[in-house]
């Protein structure tokens, strides 16, 4: 796929004063030469760019690491970019996604936006324009990153999709994050296993009540040492208790 070369302006001045802070980006593209050009242009602006060539690899990587922006090709081997995007949004990932595609039909653009894409570029494209659109998405993330949700010593940065416990980073798998968000939205209210399953899956996927028990167990192991308690209400579901500082 032919793309334009980055302009000399980008080469000379990769970080203008108005630009956002350098960020961690994920590029999902199976065309190696195209990916190299995109990664080089964005790297010149100070960003850290990780490249993967398949949708399956991208989903696995996003489940274990945080990225400010995902640049996602539609025409991937295996599951295509649209399906990757659908699964990301279903799992609760809110980072901006810029879709790249050789399809220029209006219906395809609408489909991508409806699935949760934040921007859409048709190949071939100019690298300076791609870099500018990525900067715009990063500015949006950094502007929205201020408000956080707190529950005792637990703090969730929803925009950055990061969690902190007693001031230290808390590692959460994608489904653990999603379960915790649901509980935080309903403190002191019972959430049934069926509600978790309905929120975390679609009709194409299968998630058992036993899986919910596993995620709750993992969360308890991580949160209870800090005094955050998830109560089992037998026959009904689970409830995140109001935080009470028992050391006071």
Span 53-66, average pLDDT: 90
Of 102, 117, 144, the residue that ends a domain is 144
**Does residue 87 sit in the same domain as residue 203?**
no
pLDDT at 201: 63
- How many domains are contained in the chain? 2
**Does residue 212 sit in the same domain as residue 99?**
no
**Does residue 192 sit in the same domain as residue 73?**
no
Question: Is residue 87 over pLDDT 70?
Answer: yes
55/159: higher pLDDT: 55
Q: Domain range for residue 181?
A: 149-240
Position 101 in a domain: yes
Position 94 in a domain: yes
Position 229 in a domain: yes
Position 175 in a domain: yes
pLDDT at 63: 85
Span 119-144, average pLDDT: 88
Least confident of 20-24, 132-136, 171-175, 231-235: 20-24
CA distances from 96 to 70, 133, 140 (A): 6, 11, 9
Position 87 in a domain: yes
Question: Is residue 2 over pLDDT 50?
Answer: no
Of 144, 165, 182, the residue that ends a domain is 144
Question: Is residue 98 over pLDDT 50?
Answer: yes
CA distances from 58 to 9, 201, 224 (A): 31, 19, 32
**Does residue 134 sit in the same domain as residue 156?**
no
**Does residue 105 sit in the same domain as residue 197?**
no
Position 2 in a domain: no
**Does residue 135 sit in the same domain as residue 196?**
no
CATH code of the domain covering residue 208: 1.10.10.10
**Does residue 76 sit in the same domain as residue 136?**
yes
19 pLDDT tier (thresholds 50, 70, 90): low
Span 84-94, average pLDDT: 90
**Does residue 234 sit in the same domain as residue 174?**
yes
Position 3 in a domain: no
Span 28-33, average pLDDT: 95
Tell me the pTM: 0.55
**Does residue 85 sit in the same domain as residue 57?**
yes
Of 87, 122, 144, the residue that ends a domain is 144
Residues 241 and 230 sit within 8 Å (Cβ to Cβ): yes
Cβ neighbour number for residue 133 with a 10 Å cutoff: 19
% of the chain at pLDDT higher than 70:
83
> Distance between CA atoms of 85 and 183, rounded to whole angstroms?
24
DSSP string over 91-130: TT--S-EEEEES---HHHHHHHHHHT-SEEEESS-BHHHH
**Does residue 38 sit in the same domain as residue 71?**
yes
| Tally of residues, the chain | 248
> Distance between CA atoms of 187 and 197, rounded to whole angstroms?
18
177/52: higher pLDDT: 52
**Does residue 73 sit in the same domain as residue 115?**
yes
93/7: higher pLDDT: 93
Average pLDDT, the chain: 83
Span 191-210, average pLDDT: 73
CATH code of the domain covering residue 53: 3.40.50.2300
**Does residue 12 sit in the same domain as residue 119?**
yes
Position 58 in a domain: yes
């Amino acid at each position: 796929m032919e793309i334009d070369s980055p302009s000399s302006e980008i080469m000379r001045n990769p970080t203008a004063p108005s630009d956002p802070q350098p960020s961690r980006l994920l590029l999902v593209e199976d065309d190696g030469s195209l990916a190299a050009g995109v990664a080089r242009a964005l790297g010149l602006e100070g960003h850290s760019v990780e490249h993967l060539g398949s949708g399956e690899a991208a989903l696995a990587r996003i489940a274990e690491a945080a990225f400010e922006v995902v640049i996602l090709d539609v025409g991937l081997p295996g599951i295509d970019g649209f399906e990757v995007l659908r699964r990301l949004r279903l799992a609760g990932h809110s980072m901006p996604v810029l879709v790249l595609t050789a399809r220029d039909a209006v219906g395809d653009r609408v489909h991508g936006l409806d699935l949760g894409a934040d921007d859409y570029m048709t190949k071939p494209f100019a690298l300076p324009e791609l870099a500018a659109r990525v900067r715009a998405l990063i500015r949006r993330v950094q502007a929205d990153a201020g408000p956080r949700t707190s529950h005792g010593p637990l703090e969730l940065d929803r925009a950055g999709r990061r969690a902190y416990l007693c001031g230290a980073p808390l590692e959460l798998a994608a489904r653990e994050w999603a379960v915790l968000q649901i509980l935080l939205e309903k403190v002191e209210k019972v959430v049934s296993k069926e509600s978790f399953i309905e929120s975390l899956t679609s009709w194409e996927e299968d998630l058992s009540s036993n899986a919910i028990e596993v995620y709750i167990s993992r969360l308890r192991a991580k949160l209870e040492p800090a005094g955050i308690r998830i109560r089992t209400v037998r026959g009904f579901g689970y409830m995140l208790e109001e935080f009470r500082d028992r050391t006071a």
